[in-house]
């Protein structure tokens, strides 16, 4: 038995873990089989919303967005229609937590338990694959004859799973339709992400967009009817090119934000080193973990005096830190930089990467690159990141 000391205390379960274990331990042996299916992200979602089907669900609901929190647990109570925080600073003892729960009738909230609970990690990782967006979770424990929160609204979509006891839920008409106070995954955010690259591509092809703006426009004197008409004509032209597929639409910042902040694959430790043999030119290969990688076209991040050239990034979440998921925290700066940068390739490699992304399998020699050396170099880089395997 190690000696106890003030400088290096013996590692114990946290009070949050003790509370959850005490409440769950008595029923663990009688737990029924899970009704959830983990065969694929789609099957998990369908089992989660049954007996409702996906078509009905999406005709009546929106895609979930994100929720960021900054602490492991909080506790509070609704008094006279208002939320009263009962939090203490620093670490909390089990006795204090139990007293708040039993005597003060406080609701205890655990933030993002998927960071520690493997079952929730498995569920939420697959839901992030299904939706293509971040999925967080919170656990609330409320004592009998008590209320934790007053009537309120969230600007994220929420699945509520009641695990124990019973509660009356009151649903109201929204005071703000589709509120967007802190979420960053609405159509407006997507347009803000897409439009800079669209306008940049168009200005390279159209001379008029490289001309000077109307005289005194920035001073408020140039915003006449002719200027408004010219802007409207430009936007209609851009919309037509996007609709007909003549203009490529690329999301960059939202892709990067999602892939660098989402959960890593379940059983992450098996993925950190490449498996199988090194791919050769005659081998048949396929991409792995497609739902955990994105391809972006961005300016090179190398600092030079010359204008930045466009390059291709392959970003993935295999090395993401589960413990930081949805907590708004960053790890070591050097490690974070490596994760956010991912793999970088010349723009000439884009079509070969898209080939791999769309195909179930293909031979290395089939890649749309001019030389065998470039083909082998590409698949070797992907294999080294555990993103590609030889069949």
Q: What is the CATH number of the domain that holds 138?
A: 2.60.120.650
Is 251 domain-assigned?
no
d(CA 325, CA 113): 10
Mean pLDDT, rounded, for 47-54: 85
Q: Tell me if residue 83 falls in helix, strand or coil.
A: strand
Residue 42 and residue 177 in one domain = yes
Residue 270 and residue 315 in one domain = yes
Nearest 10 degrees: CA dihedral of 29, 35, 37, 38? -30
Give, as one character, the DSSP assignment of residue 38.
Answer: -
Q: What is the pLDDT of residue 287?
A: 95
* pLDDT confidence tier of residue 59, bands split at 50, 70 and 90: confident
Is 366 domain-assigned?
yes
* pLDDT confidence tier of residue 372, bands split at 50, 70 and 90: very high
Residue 342 and residue 275 in one domain = yes
Is 29 domain-assigned?
no
Q: Are 189 and 63 in contact (CB under 8 A)?
A: no
Mean pLDDT, rounded, for 129-142: 92
* pLDDT confidence tier of residue 120, bands split at 50, 70 and 90: very high
* Omega before 41 within 30 of 0, i.e. cis: no
Contacts of 243 (CB under 8 A, 6+ apart): none
Is 156 domain-assigned?
yes
Q: Tell me if residue 333 falls in helix, strand or coil.
A: helix
Residue ranges of E strands in 31-188? 73-79, 82-85, 107-111, 138-141
d(CA 281, CA 346): 20
Q: What is the pLDDT of residue 17?
A: 44
Q: Are 47 and 126 in contact (CB under 8 A)?
A: no
Mean pLDDT, rounded, for 40-47: 88
Q: Are 305 and 355 in contact (CB under 8 A)?
A: no
CA atoms within 13 A on the CB side of 103: 7
Residue 294 and residue 360 in one domain = yes
Residue 282 and residue 343 in one domain = yes
CA atoms within 13 A on the CB side of 391: 11
Q: Are 75 and 332 in contact (CB under 8 A)?
A: no
- pLDDT surpassing 80 at residue 2: no
Distances (CA, A) of 186 to 144, 155, 195: 38, 10, 15
Residue 207 and residue 278 in one domain = no
Is 353 domain-assigned?
yes
d(CA 148, CA 106): 7
Residue 51 and residue 181 in one domain = yes
In what order do the strands lie in the sheet containing 362-363? 362-363, 284-287, 388-390
Q: Name the domain count of the chain.
A: 3
Residue 85 and residue 177 in one domain = yes
Q: Are 391 and 285 in contact (CB under 8 A)?
A: yes
Residue 83 and residue 172 in one domain = yes
Residue 203 and residue 93 in one domain = no
pLDDT digits over 314-347, tens only? 999 999 999 999 887 554 444 445 444 589 999 9
Query: Full-prediction pTM beyond 0.85?
Result: no
Mean pLDDT, rounded, for 32-49: 84
- Domain that residue 349 falls in: 256-325+337-390
Give, as one character, the DSSP assignment of residue 325.
Answer: T
The larger pLDDT score, comparing residue 38 to residue 178, is at 38
Residue 163 and residue 38 in one domain = yes
Instruction: Give the ranges where the chain is alpha helix by DSSP (H).
Output: 15-25, 41-49, 54-60, 94-102, 118-131, 187-205, 225-244, 253-261, 333-341, 350-358, 372-384
pLDDT digits over 178-198, tens only? 777 666 678 888 888 998 888
pLDDT digits over 211-228, tens only? 888 888 888 776 677 888
d(CA 14, CA 12): 6
Residue carrying structure tokens 């999406």:
58
CA 168 to chain centre: 32
Give, as one character, the DSSP assignment of residue 213.
Answer: P
Is 111 domain-assigned?
yes
Q: What is the CATH number of the domain that holds 265?
A: 3.90.930.40
Mean pLDDT, rounded, for 285-313: 84
> Which of 382, 383, 375 has the alpha carbon at shortest distance from 278?
383
Q: What is the pLDDT of residue 306?
A: 60
pLDDT digits over 347-363, tens only? 999 999 999 999 999 99
d(CA 143, CA 357): 50
Is 52 domain-assigned?
yes
* pLDDT confidence tier of residue 289, bands split at 50, 70 and 90: very high
- pLDDT surpassing 80 at residue 245: yes
Residue 124 and residue 177 in one domain = yes
Is 26 domain-assigned?
no
């Amino acid at each position: 038995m190690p000696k106890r000391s003030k400088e290096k205390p013996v590692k114990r379960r946290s009070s949050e873990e003790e509370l959850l274990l005490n409440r769950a331990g008595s029923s663990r042996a009688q737990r029924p089989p899970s009704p959830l299916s983990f065969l694929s992200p789609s099957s998990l979602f369908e089992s989660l919303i049954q007996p409702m089907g996906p078509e009905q669900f999406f005709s009546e609901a929106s895609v979930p967005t994100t929720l960021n929190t900054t602490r492991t647990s909080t506790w509070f109570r609704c008094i006279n229609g208002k939320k009263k925080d009962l939090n203490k600073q620093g670490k909390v003892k089990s006795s204090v937590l139990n007293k708040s729960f039993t005597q003060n009738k406080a609701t205890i909230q655990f933030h993002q338990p998927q960071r520690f609970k493997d079952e929730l990690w498995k569920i939420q990782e697959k839901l992030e694959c299904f939706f293509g967006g971040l999925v967080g979770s919170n656990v609330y424990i409320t004592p009998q004859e008590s209320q934790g929160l007053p009537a309120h609204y969230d600007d994220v979509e929420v699945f509520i799973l009641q695990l124990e006891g019973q509660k009356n839920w009151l649903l109201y008409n929204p005071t703000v339709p589709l509120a967007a106070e802190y979420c960053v995954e609405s159509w407006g955010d997507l347009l803000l992400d897409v439009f800079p690259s669209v306008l940049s591509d168009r200005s390279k092809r159209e001379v008029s967009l490289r001309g000077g703006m109307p005289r005194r426009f920035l001073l408020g004197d140039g915003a006449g009817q002719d200027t408004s008409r010219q802007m409207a004509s430009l936007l209609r032209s851009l919309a037509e090119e996007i609709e007909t597929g003549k203009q490529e639409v690329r999301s960059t910042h939202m892709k990067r934000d999602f892939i660098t902040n989402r959960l890593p694959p379940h059983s992450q430790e098996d993925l950190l080193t490449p498996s199988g043999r090194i791919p050769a030119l005659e081998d048949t290969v396929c991409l792995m973990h497609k739902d955990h990688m994105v391809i972006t076209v961005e300016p090179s991040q190398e600092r030079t005096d010359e204008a930045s050239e466009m390059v291709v990034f392959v970003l993935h979440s295999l090395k993401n830190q589960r413990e930081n998921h949805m907590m708004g925290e960053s790890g070591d700066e050097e490690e974070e930089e490596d994760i956010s940068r991912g793999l970088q390739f010349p723009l000439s490699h884009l079509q070969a990467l898209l080939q791999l992304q769309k195909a179930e399998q293909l031979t290395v020699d089939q890649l749309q690159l001019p030389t065998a050396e470039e083909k082998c170099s590409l698949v070797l880089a992907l294999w080294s990141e555990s993103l590609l395997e030889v069949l």
